[in-house]
C-alpha cells in the first residue's frame, strides 16, 4: 500500500517531540496490575499518562490489541470507559477479568462451593506436569480448572485470572516448584531446572494461595470512579480491523502497544496458561505481524482505517512502539508508520507528535526468551495521531 515516490506527500514535522520521565516499574502501579501480564503489554504508568493527557472523565478508550488488558485496566482505574478487542482468547479472558474484578468475599464464597479433591486422570499428569507440580496440588488444580471452565460468570473468570497469576513461579506463593513466573518452560527444561536445583515439587494447597493472591491483587481497592463504570466496559475477541461492536465516532482515545514486526513469538511460552484456561493459541496464519515491514505497515493502515471510523473528530490514536534493532539495523517504527499515515491516510489522520520514554525496568524484556533475534533498544516511542474533523 506504500505509494510511489512521485506521489509521496512531503513529510511535515510532527508538532511536538517530547522526552517523558515515566517510572515504568510495575511495583509502583495499582495492585491489580500485579497479576498475569502478557509480554509486550504497555506499561501501566505510560497508559496512565496518555489517558490523563488525551481524555476527559468518562471518555471512551479503545485498545484494539488489548493483550492482557494492562492499558485498558489503567484507563478503567482512571474512570474512563474501556473498550477492547483481542484475537487471542487467553489475552481476552485475562483482560475481561481485570476489567470486572470480584471482591474477596465473592471469591471466598465461590471457592467454598468447589470440591478440589476429586480423583483425576494420572496419565495427563505423567505426560507433562510431573516436573512442575506435586500430585495432590495437581489434583486440586485440575478440579479447579474443570469447575472454572464449566461456569461463565465474572466471579469464576476473576478466580481464573488469579489462578493463572500463581500457576507457576519462583516462591512458595505459587503452585509449582521453583520455575519462571512469566514464562512457562517446557517439561524437559523444568526437569533440568529441578536437577540443577536438586528440587522436587512439594504440596502447595491451592485455596489459601488463591485467597492470599486475591487479597494482594485487590490491596489498592477499586476507586469509586472506576466502580461506577464497571458494567460499561466491553472486551471482545475481535479482529482489530473490524470493530463492528464499536459505534462510529465514539472513541476519544485509541491507545495501544500493537504487534510489531520482528517480535518474538511468545505463544509457546504461555502453554501452561493456555492449558489451564482451556484456550488455544492463535495460529501463525491468524497473526499478520510476520517479520515483514511492508506487511506490517499495510496491516497497521487497515487498523487505522477502522480507527478513523470509530475515533471522534480531534480524538487521538497513540501507538507505543519499541525501538527495534535487528542484525545491527535500527528501525524507527514510529517514523515508518508516520510516513505511511501521511502518504496514505492524511485525509483522516494528522501526525501530531512523538513521545519518547525510557524503559527503566528491564524486567519485561528479560522474561522474553528467544529474544536473541529481537533485541530491543532502551526507549519506546509513542506516535500520536489526531483525527481530522
Ligand atoms: C503488544 S500486545 C498488546 C498489548 C496491549 N495493547 C497493551 O498495551 O497492554 C499485542 C497484542 O496484539 C494481539 N494481536 C491481535 N492481532 C494480531 C495480529 N494480527 N498479529 C499479532 N498480534 C495480534 C496479540 O494477541 C497481542 O496480545
Q: Write down all domains in the chain, each with its CATH number in brackets.
A: 5-101+231-270+288-372+379-387 (3.40.50.150), 104-217 (no CATH)
pLDDT beyond 80 at 373: no
Calpha distance 356→45 (Å, rounded): 13
Atom of ligand 1 nearest to the CA of 289: 20
Q: Which three cell numbers mark 255? A: 491507545
C-beta of 41 in contact with ligand 1 (< 6 A): yes
pLDDT beyond 50 at 366: no
Residue 126: predicted pLDDT: 84
Calpha distance 156→133 (Å, rounded): 23
156 Cα–ligand 1 center, Å = 25
pTM: 0.91
pLDDT beyond 70 at 282: yes
Mean pLDDT (whole number) for 210-228: 94
Q: Which region among 68-82, 86-100, 317-331, 371-385 has the lowest average model confidence (pLDDT)?
A: 371-385
The string over 54-63, giving b where at least 16 C-beta atoms fall within 10 Å of a residue's C-beta and e elsewhere, is bbeeebbbbb
Mean pLDDT (whole number) for 174-193: 96
Q: How many angstroms separate the Cα of 328 from the Cα of each of 3, 290, 321, 324, 334?
A: 27, 19, 18, 10, 18
pLDDT beyond 60 at 71: yes
Who contacts 120 (Cβ-Cβ below 8 Å, separation ≥6)? 138, 139, 142, 143
Residue 24: predicted pLDDT: 86
Residue 330: predicted pLDDT: 84
Tell me which of 323 and 87 has the higher pLDDT: 87
Who contacts 93 (Cβ-Cβ below 8 Å, separation ≥6)? 157, 160, 161, 277, 279
Residue nearest to atom 22 of ligand 1 (CA): 259
Residue 371: predicted pLDDT: 40
Atom of ligand 1 nearest to the CA of 299: 19
Who contacts 37 (Cβ-Cβ below 8 Å, separation ≥6)? 26, 68, 70, 182, 364
For residue 6, what pLDDT band results from cuts at 50, 70 and 90?
Answer: very low
Residue 293: predicted pLDDT: 87
Judged on CB neighbours under 10 Å (0-12, 13-18, 19+), 362 is exposed
Tell me which of 46 and 284 has the higher pLDDT: 46
Q: How confident is the model over 18-67, as pLDDT tens digits?
A: 999 998 887 889 999 999 988 888 999 999 999 999 999 989 999 999 99
Q: How many angstroms separate the Cα of 337 from the Cα of each of 47, 93, 97, 343, 369?
A: 20, 30, 32, 10, 27
CB-based contact 286:87 (threshold 8 Å): yes
C-beta of 39 in contact with ligand 1 (< 6 A): no
pLDDT beyond 70 at 177: yes
pLDDT beyond 50 at 8: no
pLDDT beyond 70 at 377: no
**Which SS3 state, helix, strand or coil, does residue 357 take?**
strand
pLDDT beyond 90 at 4: no
Calpha distance 364→368 (Å, rounded): 7
- Own/partner long-range contacts of 336-340 (Cβ < 8 Å, ≥24 apart): 336/293, 336/297, 337/297, 337/300, 337/383, 338/11, 338/14, 338/383, 339/11, 340/1, 340/2, 340/297, 340/300, 340/301
Atom of ligand 1 nearest to the CA of 69: 9
For residue 289, what pLDDT band results from cuts at 50, 70 and 90?
Answer: low
Residue whose C-alpha is closest to residue 46's, from 366, 361, 387, 388: 361
pLDDT beyond 60 at 363: no
C-beta of 259 in contact with ligand 1 (< 6 A): yes
pLDDT beyond 80 at 365: no
Atom of ligand 1 nearest to the CA of 70: 9
357 Cα–ligand 1 center, Å = 20
Q: How confident is the model over 72-108, as pLDDT tens digits?
A: 999 999 999 999 999 999 999 999 999 999 999 999 9
Q: Which region among 135-139, 179-183, 363-367 has the lowest average model confidence (pLDDT)?
A: 363-367
- Share the mean pLDDT of the chain: 90
**Which SS3 state, helix, strand or coil, does residue 65 take?**
coil
Amino acid at each position: 500500500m506504500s505509494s510511489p515516490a512521485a506521489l509521496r506527500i512531503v513529510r511535515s514535522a510532527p508538532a511536538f517531540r517530547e522526552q517523558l520521565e515515566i517510572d515504568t516499574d510495575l511495583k509502583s502501579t495499582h495492585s491489580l496490575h500485579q497479576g498475569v501480564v502478557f509480554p509486550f503489554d504497555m506499561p501501566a504508568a505510560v497508559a496512565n499518562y496518555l489517558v490523563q493527557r488525551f481524555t476527559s472523565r468518562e471518555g471512551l478508550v479503545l485498545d484494539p490489541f488489548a493483550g492482557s488488558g494492562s492499558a485498558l485496566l489503567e484507563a478503567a482505574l482512571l474512570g474512563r470507559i474501556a473498550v477492547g478487542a483481542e484475537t487471542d482468547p487467553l489475552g481476552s479472558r485475562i483482560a475481561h477479568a481485570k476489567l470486572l474484578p470480584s471482591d474477596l468475599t465473592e471469591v471466598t464464597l465461590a471457592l467454598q462451593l468447589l470440591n478440589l479433591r476429586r480423583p483425576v486422570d494420572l496419565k495427563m499428569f505423567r505426560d507433562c506436569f510431573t516436573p512442575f507440580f506435586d500430585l495432590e496440588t495437581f489434583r486440586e488444580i485440575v478440579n479447579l480448572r474443570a469447575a472454572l471452565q464449566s461456569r461463565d460468570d465474572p466471579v469464576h473468570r476473576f478466580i481464573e485470572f488469579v489462578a493463572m497469576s500463581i500457576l507457576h513461579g519462583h516462591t512458595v506463593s505459587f503452585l509449582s516448584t521453583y520455575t519462571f513466573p512469566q514464562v512457562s518452560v517446557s517439561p524437559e527444561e523444568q526437569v533440568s531446572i529441578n536437577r540443577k536445583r536438586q528440587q522436587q515439587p512439594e504440596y502447595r494447597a491451592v485455596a489459601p494461595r488463591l485467597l492470599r493472591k486475591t487479597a494482594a491483587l485487590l490491596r489498592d481497592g477499586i476507586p469509586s470512579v472506576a466502580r461506577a463504570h464497571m458494567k460499561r466496559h466491553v472486551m471482545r475477541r475481535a479482529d482489530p480491523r473490524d470493530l463492528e461492536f464499536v459505534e462510529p465516532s465514539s472513541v476519544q482515545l485509541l491507545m495501544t502497544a500493537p504487534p510489531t514486526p520482528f517480535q518474538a513469538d511468545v505463544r509457546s511460552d504461555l502453554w501452561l496458561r493456555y492449558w489451564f484456561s482451556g484456550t488455544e493459541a492463535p495460529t501463525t496464519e491468524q497473526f499478520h505481524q510476520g517479520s515483514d515491514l511492508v506487511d506490517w505497515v499495510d496491516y497497521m493502515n487497515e487498523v487505522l482505517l477502522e480507527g478513523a471510523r470509530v475515533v471522534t473528530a480531534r480524538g487521538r490514536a497513540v501507538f507505543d512502539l519499541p525501538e527495534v534493532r535487528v542484525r545491527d539495523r535500527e528501525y524507527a517504527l514510529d517514523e515508518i508508520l508516520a510516513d505511511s499515515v501521511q502518504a496514505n491516510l492524511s485525509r483522516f489522520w494528522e501526525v501530531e507528535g512523538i513521545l519518547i520514554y525510557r524503559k527503566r525496568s528491564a524486567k519485561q524484556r528479560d522474561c522474553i526468551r528467544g529474544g536473541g533475534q529481537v533485541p530491543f533498544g532502551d526507549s519506546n516511542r509513542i506516535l500520536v495521531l489526531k483525527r481530522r474533523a
